[in-house]
Amino acid sequence: MTITNESELAPDETAVLLHDLRTPLAAMRTAAEIVAGEPLSQRQADALHTLELAIDSLLAITRNALDGAPAPARATAETSALETIDAVADLFDPAARSRGLTLTRDLDGDLAAYGLSDPLTLRRILSVLLDNALKYTGEGGVRLAATVHRGGPRPELDLTLSDTGIGIEDDERATLFRPMSRGRRARGHAAGSGLGLWSASRLALACGGMLDLVDTSPAGSTFALRLPLVAPAQREAGDATAPIQADGHETVRPAPCVLVVDDSATNRRMIEVMLEAAGFRVVLADGGAEALACLAHAPGPDCVLLDLTMPDMSGLETIEAMRALEAGACVPVIGITAAVVPDRARLSRAGFTTVLDKPVAPARLIDAIARAIDGSRAEDD
C-alpha cells in the first residue's frame, strides 16, 4: 500500500468519528494512569484496572479500523498469548461477579512463550465469546481453557470457552455464524444484534484460524477457537538511570530529559505527568519557536516529543530548524500526529526517529522514548 499525503485523502464520516474518538479516549487513559499513582484501596485498584483494560480495547479497535486492514503477520509478537487472554478475562471478571457467576481459567503456562501476529484479533474474538457466555448464563459460570497445540506444521492456540447457559438448538447450528442471526432461545433471553459471532468467525478465518461450536445443550455450550501462534519478541528494556562505569568507579546516569512540544496546554500537562511518573525529566514548549530556544540551553534534551500540527511552526518546520542547529542535529525526535494516514516516508526523510498516532497509550509512548534514547546513546558510544 502506498502512503499518500493526508491532504489528498477524503476520509468518510465513520473514519472521522473514529479519529475524533481517540482524543477523549487518550485523555481518559492518561487520567486513569494518574489516578493509579495515588493510594487506592484494593477494590478501587481492581476497578481502575478494569477501566484501563476497557479503554485500551477501545483504543485498539479505533486504531485498527482507521488502518483500513488487519495488521500484517509478523515473525514475532510483543505480547504473549497468555498475557492477552488474561487481560481479556480480567476485563470480564467484574461482570461475572456482579451476576453471581464464576469465571474460571485453565491456561497453559507454555502460552507465555508464544504470541499472535495481531493480538487485537484474539481480544475481539474472546470478548465476543465471553460477553455472549455471561449474557446467556443465568447461574453457574464460564470456564476458559487454553493451551498450545503442536500437532501441525506450526504451533497454534487451542482455546475453548464453556458456559452453563441456555444452549443453542441443533437446527440452528448451520446459521449460527451468519450476520443478523440469533437463536430462538437467545431472542427470548436478552437483547442482541446477531453480529458478534459472525464478526468473530470472520476475524478468525482472516488470521488463518477457525471458530466453531463444538458442543451445546440446554445445559450450556462450548466454543472452540484455533489461531496460529508466533514467537514473542525478546526485548531488553533499557534502564535510563542504570549505573555506568567511569574511570573505574560506578556512577549513576541522570534521568533522561524529554522536551515536549505541543500547542495544547492540556496535552502538555498530561504528557508531563505521564513521563514524570515514569522517571523522566520534562521540559515543556508551546510551539516550535520555544522549542528552538530550549535547545540553546545546555544540557539539551535527550529526546524531543514533537506535535506535527501546530499553528505557527508545524512539526516539519520545527524539525528542519532543529537539524540546522548544532544542539539539535542529532537529538532523537518522536513525532505525534492525529492524521488518519500521515506521510511517514516524508517524516522519516525529515529526520523523525519514529511517528506515533494520537492518542498514544502511555506504555507505548514511554517505550518509544526509551528506545529512541537508547539508540542515540548506542550511536554515541
Q: Are residues 187 and 309 in the same domain?
A: no
Q: Which residue type is seen at 365?
A: L
- Assess if residue 92 is contained within a domain: yes
Measured between alpha carbons, how far is residue 241 from residues 250, 251, 254 in Å? 12, 10, 6
- Given a cut of 50, whether residue 248 has pLDDT beyond it is no
Tell me the sheet residues that pair with 224.
Answer: 160, 212
Residue 6 in any domain: the answer is: no
Give the pLDDT score at 27. 67
94 and 197 in a single domain? The answer is: yes
- With respect to residue 95, please indicate whether it lies within any of the assigned structural domains: yes
In the chain, how many domains are there? 2
Give the span between the Cα atoms of 134 and 65, in whole angstroms: 26
Whether residue 17 is contained in a domain is answered as no
**Looking at the structure, do residues 135 and 205 belong to the same domain, yes or no?**
yes
Question: How many residues in the chain?
Answer: 381
Decide if 61 is inside a domain: no
- Which of 200, 231, 262 is the last residue in one of the domains? 231
Query: Are residue 266 and residue 165 in the same domain, yes or no?
Result: no
Of the listed ranges 35-44, 139-148, 231-240, 360-369, the one predicted with least confidence: 231-240
Query: 314 and 177: one domain?
Result: no
Closest by CA to 114, choosing from 70, 144, 88, 75, is 75
Q: Could you tell me if 290 and 223 lie in one domain?
A: no
- Domain of 150? 80-231
Specify whether the CB–CB gap between 255 and 241 falls below 8 A. Answer: yes
- Whether 1 is in a domain gets the answer no
Q: pTM (2 decimals)?
A: 0.51
Residue 274 within a domain:
yes
Residue 125: inside a domain, yes or no?
yes
Give pLDDT, residue 46: 74
360-373 tens-digit pLDDT = 767 778 888 988 88
In the chain, what percentage of residues exceed pLDDT 90?
Answer: 20
Residues 85 and 213 in one domain: yes
C-alpha triplet 179, 182, 185: angle, nearest 5°: 170
Task: Look at residues 140, 343, 143 and name the one whose alpha carbon lies nearest to residue 223.
Answer: 143
Q: N- to C-terminal Cα distance for the chain? A: 37
Do 261 and 299 have their domain in common? yes
Q: Are residues 223 and 254 in the same domain?
A: no
d(Cα 52, Cα 63) in Å, to the nearest integer? Answer: 16
Q: Which pLDDT score, from 0 to 100, does residue 12 have?
A: 53
Q: Are 370 and 237 in contact (CB under 8 A)?
A: yes
Rounded Cα distance between 181 and 47, Å, is 34
Q: Are residues 216 and 319 in the same domain?
A: no
Query: Domain holding 217: CATH number?
Result: 3.30.565.10
Same domain assignment for residues 127 and 165 = yes
DSSP states along 274-308: HHHHTT-EEEEESSHHHHHHHHTSSS--SEEEEES
Same domain, 327 and 216: no
The CATH number assigned to the domain holding 270 equals 3.40.50.2300
